[in-house]
Amino acid sequence: MSIQRALKIHNQDKWTWLYIAFIILFVSFLFALTIGVLIPGDEKALVTGFSYIFVYMFVMGVVGFNQTFAYAMGMSLRRTDYWMSIAIMGLRSCLLFTILFVLLAWVEEWTHGWGNQLIFFNFPYLNDGNIFEQFAVYFIAFVNFFFLGLFISIFTKRYGLRGLLTLGLTVLFSITLAVLLATYFEVWTDLFHWVVQHTAFQLSIWLIPLALLYMIVSFLIIRRTAV
């Protein structure tokens, strides 16, 4: 099947899809663990180096497409099959890292911060819910970062840097307008109270339509994208 052929292209590059991310996570954790050892007493050390993996998933959405799209088209694969294959790879990586983060958060809590009150995986607020809610928070976040990167890379391929600049300016203008309106109508306090009244899991649900938007638009664009 064409999707399986396309998946083989991505599976050959395990370094990009898995190993580099593991190395980044391992190095940042060792650095955080060293900081935790150096802090005296019972003070908790809060280190957020694990956030690099979220950024890496965004980069994977960009790099994964740019490195393989032309090659896949050279193998006469359909654009639909190619998009499905890279989406499957992205979702698989998101699932793997989500499971890893949830498990390590549990280990961190069980060992009381790896024996020295380190907070690295069991992050306050993000990990306040049950295991299902924690899983959903991380998985939805990973999926959003990956498909945002994929959308940007496909959009740039289709419309070029001029199109990307136009899109960026449009988004920037929209955000600026929203900030001005929120300031004018004095809704910042109400917005802040609304956010703090919701858990990380409840807020993450609002990101699902955004992830679906990235998926749908990138899928529609790639069908008309030239090599």
User: Using one digit for the tens of pLDDT, what is the confidence trace for 49-76?
Assistant: 668 889 999 999 999 999 999 999 988 8
Q: What is the pLDDT of residue 43?
A: 61
Q: Which residue did the predictor score with more confidence, 36 or 187?
A: 187
Residue 227 lies in a domain: no
Alpha helix ranges (H) inside 75-222: 79-110, 131-184, 188-196, 200-205, 208-222
Report if residue 170 sits inside a domain.
yes
C-beta separation of 218 from 147 below 8 A: yes
Query: Is the pLDDT score of 83 beyond 90?
Result: yes
pLDDT exceeds 60 at position 26: yes
Query: What average pLDDT does the structure give for the chain?
Result: 90
Q: Is the pLDDT of residue 41 over 60?
A: no
The dihedral sign for the CA sequence 138, 144, 145, 150:
positive
Instruction: Say if residue 45's pLDDT is above 70.
Output: no
Could you tell me if residue 70 is inside a domain? yes
Does 91 map to a domain? yes
Side-chain half-sphere of 75: how many Cα atoms within 13 Å?
17
Residue range 5-25: mean pLDDT, rounded: 88
Domain count, the chain: 1
Structural domain containing residue 27: 2-222
